[in-house]
Amino acid sequence: MKLIRLGIIVALISTFAITIVMFPVMPDVVVSHWNAAGQANGHMSKVWGLFLIPLIMVGCVALFGILPRIDPLGKNYEQFRDYYEGFILVFVTFMFAIQAQIMLWGIGIQISPNHTFPVLLGILFIYLGFLIEHTEPNWFVGIRTPWTLSSTTVWNKTRERGGKLFKLAGIVSVVGIVFQTYAIWFILIPVFAVAIYTVVYSYFLYKNEQTTVIKPV
C-alpha cells in the first residue's frame, strides 16, 4: 500500500515538473480536444491547456482520499483498499499520459489519439474490472444500484459479473486501435453496454431473490 501511495505522489509531482519544464517551449495555444477521426478540434491558452489536467489530477486524488472518510460504509473500504488505491494510481498514470500527448502535439509530434486512447482507456477499464470484483458494499465505488445496495447477495453477484464484463470492455477498447477512425465506438459501445446490462442484471437478481424467499409455514 505504501508503494502504491508513493507511486501516486511520484505521478503527481512528475506531471507538474514536466509541465513546468516544457512550458517555455510550448506554443501560446495548445490542443485540448480531438474528434473521432483523431484530428485536433479544440484548443486552449497555454496556461489553462497545460495546467488543467495536473489540477484535475490533484482534485481527483483529494476526492478519492475523502470518499472513504465520508462514506457511511467507510469501514468496508479496508477490505478492498489495495485495489482502490491501485485504481487511483492507474487513473493518475492515465491522466499523465494524456498530458504527455498534449505536450507532444505542442512541440510538433502529433501522435493520433486513435493510437493511444484505445489502449489507455482499455487499461483503465480492465483495472476497473478488478476493482469492481473486489468491492464491498459502499455508497461511492462499484456497481451501486438500488438493488445492489439493498441486498448483499445481489451486490456480490453483480460485482462478479460486472467486473468480468468491464475487463472484456477494456479488451474490446484496445482492439479499437486496429480500426482507427472507428476506435471511439470500440471504447463507448462496450462500456455503455456493460453499464446498462449490470443495472438491469441487478434488478432482475433482486426481483428473483424477493420471489424465492421462503415464506414461514
Residue 13 has pLDDT above 80, yes or no: yes
Tell me how crowded residue 125 is: count the other CB atoms within 10 A of its CB. Answer: 23
pLDDT reading at 31 higher than 80: yes
The average pLDDT across 183-211 equals: 96
pLDDT at 15: 97
Percent over 90 (pLDDT), the chain: 89
pLDDT value of position 213: 64
Please tell me the predicted confidence (pLDDT) of residue 1. Answer: 64
Segment among 45-54, 134-143, 206-215 with least mean pLDDT: 206-215
- Confidence at residue 168, expressed as pLDDT on a 0 to 100 scale: 98
Average pLDDT estimate for 170-189 = 93
Residue 192 has pLDDT above 60, yes or no: yes
**Whole-model pTM?**
0.92
Q: Please list the alpha-helical segments (H only) found in the chain.
A: 2-22, 46-70, 81-106, 113-134, 152-175, 183-211
Hey, where are the domains in the chain?
1-110, 112-212
Copy the grid coordinates of residue 122.
Answer: 482499455
Going from the C-alpha of 189 to that of each of 175, 178, 183, 192, the distances in angstroms are 13, 16, 10, 5
> Tens of pLDDT along 38-69?
889 999 999 999 999 999 999 999 999 999 99
